[in-house]
DNA sequence: GAGCTGGTAGTCAAGTTTGACTAGCGAGGG
DNA sequence: CCCTCGCTAGTCAAACTTGACTACCAGCTC
């Protein structure tokens, strides 16, 4: 009965990160933070998924659920969540994986970027450099593997797909190198460096980046 | 009761494309083609999803299912599928959308690339140029929207996420321009240009790009 | 002072995706 | 001859995702 060390899930990482930064948060707060981070644009952070992840991780012991009396301002009875010790471990495991692994799904890395300041600067740098090595290794494997002996071009237009992946990997690596430079030169405030960047919305603070669009889940 | 014009689904596009190129195909053949295209690498083309899509689209009338007696070479009774007229329409609708829209999910575009030669060259070029305009529009919307009045940098490290998206959009546009050049100069064989590129495996042909890895669904 | 709008907070059923599992057959080894 | 391995072909339950829906309250309008 190990602590559910399953595969990477962006939602789980984002939700754990949001709850952790608040100390204690209910679903709607998490939902708002993820919108503040723009996560609904680059990941599948929809209300249903968020509430599902909260409940699921509470069942698995990664979060502790506090039932709150249906207090202020009506609505259904809310539940507040707090991150547990196993939850914190899982959070860092997912975060480290998001920053180092190259799986060409950009949402995972974006989530890692949004939460990287929860690590210490030195570790973040090390992970990003590991990421560069992962990209290089991926590139080598793919180009070796998909280059037929009869020379390139044997693949016809299907080869364009591979070319696109490789191009994305290369430009992704270049961008990561730029980020490494910025972080190395002191950009941003990482864990243990004093006043952290405020990455969540305080209770009642208005969201300057809220989209005008309705969420699908909103009542008319 | 419209012909199920729902949202983009990579699996549906890929499966329709594979069945259409075969004329008539059973699930395992489709599964093999998608592996031949490398789709298991850059999309969620797992066996379960493929069989589900086949059944689903047969129910919706996009495919016609022929029950085949459990004939050659044992195994469970197979079903062969043929694309219908509504299925063909849906296929081209999805294909055009995959090539023009920019939703920063690279799997959709990759699928479009793999199937673009099912269109005529002129149309493919027009769609790719439309894609370039979509990217530009997306870029304008995002940079306007997420640039605070207090100047850039107000976002802290969260701004890196946006920078990554914008960078990806720019390099994606550059790559697309290269592709447009290649296609304009006569690369590849498009619909109505004689002998088409063989994009599927014939019955019994071995797959030169099959991975040595097991699929998750394989028996031990 | 009734009704409308908008924000807060969350549920739910339907649909999709996942990875593990089943099952038949042929080839080859011992 | 029997047993295992690998290939063909597909099923299934559990998990996840989705978008529509509920419900409450406050403020405003008419």
B141: contact with A, CB 8 A cutoff: no
φ, ψ at A114 (rounded to 5°) = -65, -25
Pairing mode of beta strands B25-26, A63-67: unpaired
What is the rounded CA–CA span in Å between residue A75 and residue A63?
Answer: 23
Cβ contacts (< 8 Å) between B175 and chain A: which residues?
A: 164, 167-168
* Closest Cα in chain A, distance from residue B103 (Å): 9
From the list B109, B157, B175, the residue facing A113 with the nearest CB is B157
Beta carbons of B42 and A161 less than 8 Å apart? yes
Task: Tell how strand A63-67 and strand B79-83 pair up.
Answer: unpaired
Looking at the predicted structure, is the pLDDT value of residue B161 above 70? yes
Q: Is A104 on the interface with B (CB under 8 A)?
A: yes
B161 to A38: CB separation less than 8 angstroms, yes or no? yes
Nearest residue, CB atoms, A161 vs list B110, B164, B189: B110
To probe the interface with B, which of A159, A160, A177 has the most B CB atoms within 10 Å?
A: A160
Count Cβ atoms within 10 A of the Cβ of residue B129 and give its class: 0-12 exposed, 13-18 middle, 19 or more buried.
middle
Rounded to whole angstroms, the Cα distance separating B99 from A201 reads 38
Q: A36 CA, D29 C1': separation in Å? A: 32
Residue B161 main-chain phi, psi, to 5 deg? -65, -45
Cβ–Cβ gap B187/A157 under 8 Å: yes
Beta-carbon contacts of A58 under 8 Å, excluding residues fewer than 6 positions away, are A64, A65, A81
Residue B37 sits at the chain A interface (C-beta within 8 Å): yes
Q: Which two tokens stand for residue B138?
A: 């997306």
Tens of each residue's pLDDT in chain A, 220 residues: 444 556 789 999 999 999 999 999 999 999 999 998 989 989 999 999 999 999 999 999 999 999 876 555 555 678 999 999 999 999 999 999 999 999 878 999 999 999 999 999 999 999 999 999 999 999 998 888 766 555 556 778 988 999 999 999 999 999 999 999 999 999 999 998 877 666 665 655 555 454 434 433 333 3
Q: Could you say which residues from 38 to 57 on chain A have a Cβ atom under 8 Å away from some Cβ of chain B?
A: 38, 42
A194-207 as b/e: b if 16+ CB within 10 A:
eeeeebbbeeeeee
- Residue B220: pLDDT band with limits 50, 70, 90: very low
Look at residue B96 and tell me whether its pLDDT is greater than 70.
yes
CB contact under 8 A, B42 and A104: yes
Instruction: Decide if pLDDT at B12 tops 60.
Output: yes
Q: Is A73 within 7 A of strand C by CB distance?
A: yes
Is any atom of strand C within 7 angstroms of residue A218's beta carbon? yes
- The shares of helix, strand and coil residues in chain A, as percent rounded to the nearest 5, are 55, 5, 40
Is residue B62 very low, low, confident or very high in pLDDT (cuts 50, 70, 90)?
A: very high
Tell whether B208 lies on the interface with A, counting CB pairs under 8 A. Answer: yes
pLDDT at A78: 83
Contacts of B109 in chain A (CB under 8 A): 164
DSSP helix, strand, coil percent of chain B (3-state; round to 5): 55, 5, 40
How large is the greatest C-alpha to C-alpha distance in chain A, in angstroms? 71
B69 CB contact with strand C at below 7 Å: no
pTM score, whole prediction: 0.86
Residue B20, pLDDT > 80, answer yes
Q: Which nucleotides of C are covered by protein (CB under 7 A)?
A: 6-13, 16-26
Return the percentage of chain B with pLDDT > 90, whole number: 63
Instruction: Name residues 107-126 of chain B with a Cβ under 7 Å from nucleic strand C.
Output: none
Q: Cβ of residue B46 near strand D, that is under 7 Å?
A: no
Q: How many CA atoms lie within 13 Å of B186's alpha carbon, on the beta-carbon side?
A: 0
Return the pLDDT at A156. Answer: 86
Locate B159 and state its tokens: 């701004």
Angle at B176 between CA A171 and CA A161, to 5 degrees: 75
Strand D lies under 7 A from the Cβ of residue A75:
yes
Residue B119, pLDDT > 80, answer: yes
């Amino acid at each position: 009965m190990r602590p559910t060390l399953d595969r990477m899930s962006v939602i789980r990482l984002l939700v754990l990160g949001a709850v952790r930064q608040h100390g204690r948060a209910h679903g709607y707060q998490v939902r708002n933070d993820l919108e503040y981070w723009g996560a609904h644009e680059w990941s599948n952070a929809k209300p249903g998924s968020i509430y599902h992840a909260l409940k699921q991780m509470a069942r698995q012991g990664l979060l502790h659920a506090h039932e709150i009396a249906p207090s202020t301002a009506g609505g259904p009875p809310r539940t507040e969540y707090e991150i547990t010790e196993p939850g914190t471990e899982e959070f860092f495991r997912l975060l480290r994986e998001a920053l180092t692994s190259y799986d060409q799904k950009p949402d995972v890395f974006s989530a890692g970027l949004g939460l990287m300041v929860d690590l210490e600067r030195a570790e973040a740098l090390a992970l990003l450099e590991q990421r560069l090595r992962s990209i290089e290794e991926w590139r080598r494997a793919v180009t070796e593997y998909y280059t037929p002996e009869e020379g390139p071009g044997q693949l016809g237009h299907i080869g364009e797909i591979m070319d696109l992946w490789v191009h994305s990997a290369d430009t992704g690596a270049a961008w990561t190198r730029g980020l490494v430079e910025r972080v190395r030169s002191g950009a941003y405030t990482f864990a243990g460096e004093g006043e952290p960047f405020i990455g969540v919305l305080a209770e009642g603070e208005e969201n300057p980046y809220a989209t005008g669009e309705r969420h699908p889940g909103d009542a008319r």
